């Protein structure tokens, strides 16, 4: 079943949903990255919750004028208008009051959402026909998705991506260094508004599939996932689009492969799976990589300390140190240094003396700054510089091999 679903063999509706979801996932991942880079990820939560009153008011308006209350375009327009109102409130609160942005987000989000729920209840008692589908906007509902719905998502997603292509440079510049951007004459607040507008577009377009409560996951998780794998903002954007697209596609297929699996939440769980994989296994920023790095560093420290202790004839008490020395063939099982161990220890001690000279000499200031107890002196100074230092220390010119 799952294979069939992945190959789009599960019928018309499932195929429409899979394609629509994938497009949404890509545009949400790409758009959300800029929000994430600007450190305003939570604003998307306020935007999405602020769509609900608009959806309900649009329904009431359309139904009371005798039209189809569930016309998607009409509902989306309504949601966009109330999201704009929410965004405006948010900006006004942060700019003109002492409220911090997080508090303002909390207030706007809950008030708009509460108002929306009230309207939703009113609608249910209104007795206007065919209102049943509106709750679907909360968590998404793909069961009755139409060709036209998929087209709305496709066109909305494509336009969003095009606009992002157009203003990606100013958005990146503003995200990294807003003061510098302002000094260069970039309209920082307009660029921020444009970014929020794009987020709103994705939110509105995604209401049908993942719903307003979970859309924030599609905007943020792909960006956070992508950040684990790269140190370049343009690559974060592309990878986030990829992660969003893949999790949406697989999630949609998965939910189609068995009865009663909700599409939106499954998509969110899929993107969470990608996030977990990245968190654990990403090469540089991942948790495992950090643990490995720490152990490697710890062994280097122990080995170095062990060698210095050997050279100075001090006893070694730490088991890890002894084990590392034995493994390297530097000490025998009874803890006595081997010939190789003696040579390495002498070299370590000599390097320590050399470093002492380097650190006390003004002319070696740049090299001295690199001292951390572990760095090989050969990686910092040239052979003739080391020879010069050795002349000052006195004693043998060459370390006995």
Partner 1 sequence: MLDLACSDGRVKQGQTLEDSPLAIRGLTVSYGQKPAVFSVDMTVEAGKMTAIIGPNGAGKSTMLKAALGIVPPVSGQVQVFGKTLDAQRARIAYVPQRASVDWDFPTRVIDVVLMGLYRELGLLGRLRAKHRAKAIECLDRVGMGDFASRQIGQLSGGQQQRVFLARALAQGADLYLLDEPFAGVDAATEKAIITVLKSLRAAGKTVVVVHHDLATVAEYFDNVFLINTRKVAEGTVSEAFTSETLQAAYGGRLATAQVDKLALAMG
Query: Under the criterion CB under 8 A, does residue 61 sit at the interface with partner 1?
Result: no
Stretch that binds partner 1, among 147-155, 156-164, 230-238, 317-325 (CB under 8 A): 230-238
- Cβ–Cβ < 8 Å for 136, 265: no
Alpha-carbon distance of 197 to 177, in angstroms, equals 21
111's tokens: 């008030």
Rounded to the nearest whole angstrom, what is the least distance from the CB of residue 239 to partner 1 in the complex? 10
Give the one residue of 37, 41, 217, 389 binding partner 1; rule: CB under 8 A.
Answer: 37
Query: Under the criterion CB under 8 A, does residue 222 sit at the interface with partner 1?
Result: no
Alpha-carbon distance of 382 to 389, in angstroms, equals 11
Query: Under the criterion CB under 8 A, does residue 307 sit at the interface with partner 1?
Result: no
Query: Under the criterion CB under 8 A, does residue 361 sit at the interface with partner 1?
Result: no
Query: Under the criterion CB under 8 A, does residue 231 sit at the interface with partner 1?
Result: yes
Query: Under the criterion CB under 8 A, does residue 320 sit at the interface with partner 1?
Result: no
Rounded to the nearest whole angstrom, what is the least distance from the CB of residue 232 to partner 1 in the complex? 6
331: three-class secondary structure by DSSP: strand
Rounded to the nearest whole angstrom, what is the least distance from the CB of residue 102 to partner 1 in the complex? 17
Residue 337 phi/psi, 5-degree rounding, is -65, 140
Rounded to the nearest whole angstrom, what is the least distance from the CB of residue 298 to partner 1 in the complex? 21
Binding residues for partner 1, rule CB under 8 A, total 27
User: In sequence order, what are the residues at sequence separation of 6 or more whose Cβ sits closer than 8 angstroms to the Cβ of residue 353?
Assistant: 393
The smaller minimum CB distance to partner 1, of residues 81 and 370, is found at 370
Give the one residue of 39, 95, 190, 375 binding partner 1; rule: CB under 8 A.
Answer: 39
Query: Under the criterion CB under 8 A, does residue 354 sit at the interface with partner 1?
Result: no
Rounded to the nearest whole angstrom, what is the least distance from the CB of residue 24 to partner 1 in the complex? 24
Rounded to the nearest whole angstrom, what is the least distance from the CB of residue 233 to partner 1 in the complex? 5
- Cβ–Cβ < 8 Å for 131, 63: yes
Burial of 296 (0-12, 13-18, 19+ CB in 10 A): exposed
Query: Under the criterion CB under 8 A, does residue 374 sit at the interface with partner 1?
Result: no
Interactions with partner 1, residue window 128-187 (CB under 8 A):
165-167, 169-170, 173, 175-177, 179-180, 182-185
Q: DSSP labels for 260-327?
A: T--HHHHHHHHHHHHHHHHHHH-TTTSHHHHHHHHHHHHHHHHHHHHHHHHHTT-----HHHHHHHHH
Query: Under the criterion CB under 8 A, does residue 102 sit at the interface with partner 1?
Result: no
Query: Residue 282, by phi and psi: left (phi above 0), alpha (psi -120 to 50) or beta?
Result: beta
Query: Under the criterion CB under 8 A, does residue 230 sit at the interface with partner 1?
Result: yes
If we measure between CA atoms, which residue out of 262, 272, 268, 269 comes closest to residue 135? Answer: 262
What are the angstrom distances between the C-alpha of 190 and each of 47, 100, 102, 161, 185?
17, 20, 21, 18, 12
Interactions with partner 1, residue window 381-400 (CB under 8 A):
none
Rounded to the nearest whole angstrom, what is the least distance from the CB of residue 150 to partner 1 in the complex? 29
Residues that bind partner 1 (CB under 8 A): 37, 39, 165-167, 169-170, 173, 175-177, 179-180, 182-185, 227, 230-233, 235-236, 365-366, 369
């Amino acid at each position: 079943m799952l294979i069939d679903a992945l190959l789009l063999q599960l019928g018309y509706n499932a195929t429409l949903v899979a394609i629509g979801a994938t497009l949404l996932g890509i545009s949400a991942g790409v758009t959300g990255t800029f929000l994430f880079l600007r450190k305003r990820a939570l604003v998307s939560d306020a935007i999405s919750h602020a769509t609900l009153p608009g959806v309900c008011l649009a329904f009431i308006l359309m139904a009371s004028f005798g039209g189809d209350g569930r016309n998607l375009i009409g509902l989306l327009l309504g949601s966009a208008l109330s999201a704009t109102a929410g965004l405006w409130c948010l900006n006004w609160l942060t700019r003109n009051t002492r409220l911090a942005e997080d508090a303002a987000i909390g207030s706007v989000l809950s008030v708009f959402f509460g108002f929306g729920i009230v309207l939703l209840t009113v609608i249910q008692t209104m007795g206007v026909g065919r209102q049943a589908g509106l709750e679907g906007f909360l968590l998404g509902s793909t069961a009755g998705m139409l060709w036209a719905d998929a087209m709305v998502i496709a066109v909305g997603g494509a336009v969003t991506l095009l606009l992002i292509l157009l203003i990606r440079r100013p958005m990146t510049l503003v995200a990294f260094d807003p003061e510098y951007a302002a000094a260069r004459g970039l309209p920082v607040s307009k660029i921020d508004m444009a970014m929020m507008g794009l987020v709103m577009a994705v939110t509105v377009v995604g209401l049908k599939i993942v719903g307003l409560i979970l859309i924030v996951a599609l905007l943020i998780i792909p960006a956070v996932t992508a950040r684990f794998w790269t140190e370049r903002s343009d690559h974060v954007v592309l990878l986030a689009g990829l992660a969003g697209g893949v999790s949406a596609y697989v999630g949609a297929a998965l939910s189609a492969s068995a009865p009663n699996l909700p599409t939106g939440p499954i998509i969110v769980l899929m993107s969470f799976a990608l996030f977990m994989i990245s968190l654990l296994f990403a090469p540089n920023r991942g948790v495992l990589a950090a643990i490995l790095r720490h152990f490697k560093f710890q062994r280097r420290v122990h080995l170095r300390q062990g060698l210095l202790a050997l050279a100075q004839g001090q006893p070694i008490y730490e088991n890890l140190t002894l084990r590392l020395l034995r493994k390297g063939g530097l000490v025998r099982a009874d803890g006595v240094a081997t010939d190789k161990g003696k040579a390495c220890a002498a070299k370590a001690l000599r390097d320590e003396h050399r470093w002492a000279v380097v650190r006390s000499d003004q002319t070696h200031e740049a090299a001295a700054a690199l001292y951390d107890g572990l760095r090989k002196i050969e990686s910092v100074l040239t052979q003739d510089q080391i020879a010069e230092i050795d002349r000052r220390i006195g004693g043998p010119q060459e370390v006995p091999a």
